[in-house]
Amino acid sequence: MTTPFDMALGYPQWQGSSRSTNILRGAKAVAEVCSRFAPLVSLHESDATGDDHGVHHWHAVLDLFCQAQRTLAAHRPRRLLTAGGDCAVDVAAIDYLRSLYPDLQVIWVDAHMDANTPDTSPSGCFHGMPVTAIMGFAPEPMRRLLGAPIAPERFRYYGVRVADSGDEAFGTAHGLRMLEADHAFDGPVHIHFDLDALDPVEFPYLAYREPDGVSVAAALALVRRIAAEADLVGLTITEFAPANEEEAQRGSLVASQICEAASGSESG
């Protein structure tokens, strides 16, 4: 199968999640799917421990982030498929792609805004902070390793239906917006695809089952549209939390459909 991706990054991070049970199983399942669409290079699972900078499991999160930066610098992919893990895996992926494509657009497909900081987060879990991180508000040890931030006008949400006060305050202060139906997908685009954007009636293999989500068909249609209209240079799939191998196999079918849609291929 011809795909737009020249590398798949396996990013086995569960430490950013406040409901981390099953996230590692999901990350491994998504990595296996992604390996069918691009050569897979996987990070090592982190055994670092300890909280810091207002973030739970901070040392493991930073360890994996640094691993990702070294791996991407060594392989230099132009089009990156990333298999998470929790949502915070996308900080390294987006920062890398932004260094290649200064006009990168980011479409954040997610049930949650993910726009807290360590000061506003009710949980201290980093998977609720990646949007602020890519916009220049990461904890200092990570911030000094990041390049130029993503400008809010080059960022859109799709599927968001849950936010807390910290999310809302940041979104209002920085003018974060939902994706408009007539949005122009010109130039390079990266899609962050948190599977909890999907309706849990249709896709229940989640740590956070938020009602009234996006249908699988609608989400796939969006990915296909972006792939057809824009230069799709990145896709990250996150927050898959199957409780067992049977669920991992079932949910992997949807992950494969997402990759196919991004590749301009029809699901068989």
Whether 2 is covered by a domain: the verdict is no
Question: Do the Cβ atoms of 68 and 9 come closer than 8 Å?
Answer: yes
Q: Are residues 134 and 95 in contact, defined by beta-carbon separation less than 8 angstroms? A: yes
63-81 pLDDT, tens digit each: 999 999 999 999 999 999 9
In the β-sheet with 177-178, what is the strand arrangement from edge to edge?
A: 40-42, 7-11, 80-84, 231-238, 188-194, 105-109, 155-158, 177-178
pLDDT at 99 over 90: yes
Query: Does the pLDDT at position 2 exceed 80?
Result: no
Looking at the predicted structure, is the pLDDT value of residue 268 above 50? no
Tokens of residue 161, six digits = 């239906």
- The SS3 assignment for 188 reads strand
Residue 204 lies in a domain: yes
Contact 118, 124 (CB under 8 A): yes
pLDDT of 3-34, one tens digit each? 689 999 999 999 999 889 999 999 999 999 99
Query: Which has the closest alpha carbon to 145: 82, 72, 75?
Result: 72
- Whether 76 maps to a domain, the answer reads yes
The CATH number of residue 249's host domain is 3.40.800.10
C-alpha–C-alpha distance, residues 202 and 265, integer Å: 22
Return the percentage of the chain with pLDDT > 90, whole number: 94
Q: Per-residue pLDDT averaged across 199-211, rounded? A: 96
Tell me the pLDDT of the chain averaged across its residues: 96
Residue 132 has what pLDDT? 98
189 domain residue, yes or no: yes
What's the angle, vertex CA 83, arms to CA 268 and CA 53, rounded to 5? 155
Our measurement of the distance from residue 19's CA atom to the centroid of its chain's CA atoms, rounded to an integer in Å, reads 16
Determine the straight-line distance between the first and last CA of the chain, rounded to whole angstroms: 12
Q: Which amino acid is at 198?
A: L
Which pLDDT band holds residue 266 (cuts at 50, 70, 90)? low
Which residues contact residue 240 at a Cβ distance below 8 angstroms, ignoring those fewer than 6 apart?
Answer: 23, 26, 27, 29, 30, 84, 195, 205, 206, 248, 251, 255
For 112-143, the pLDDT digits (tens) are 999 999 999 999 999 999 999 999 999 999 99
Q: How far is CA 43 from CA 9, 22, 63, 83, 84, in A?
A: 8, 18, 10, 11, 11
Q: Which domain holds residue 27?
A: 7-262
Q: How much is the average pLDDT of 230-239?
A: 97
Q: Which residues pair with 55 in a beta bridge?
A: 52
Phi, psi of 261 (to 5 degrees): -60, -40
For residues 41-53, average pLDDT = 97
Report the percentage of the chain scoring pLDDT > 70.
Answer: 97
Q: What's the whole-number mean pLDDT along residues 239-267? A: 93
Number of domains in the chain: 1
Residue 194 lies in a domain: yes
Asked whether residue 156 is assigned to any structural domain, the reply reads: yes
Does 267 fall in a domain? no
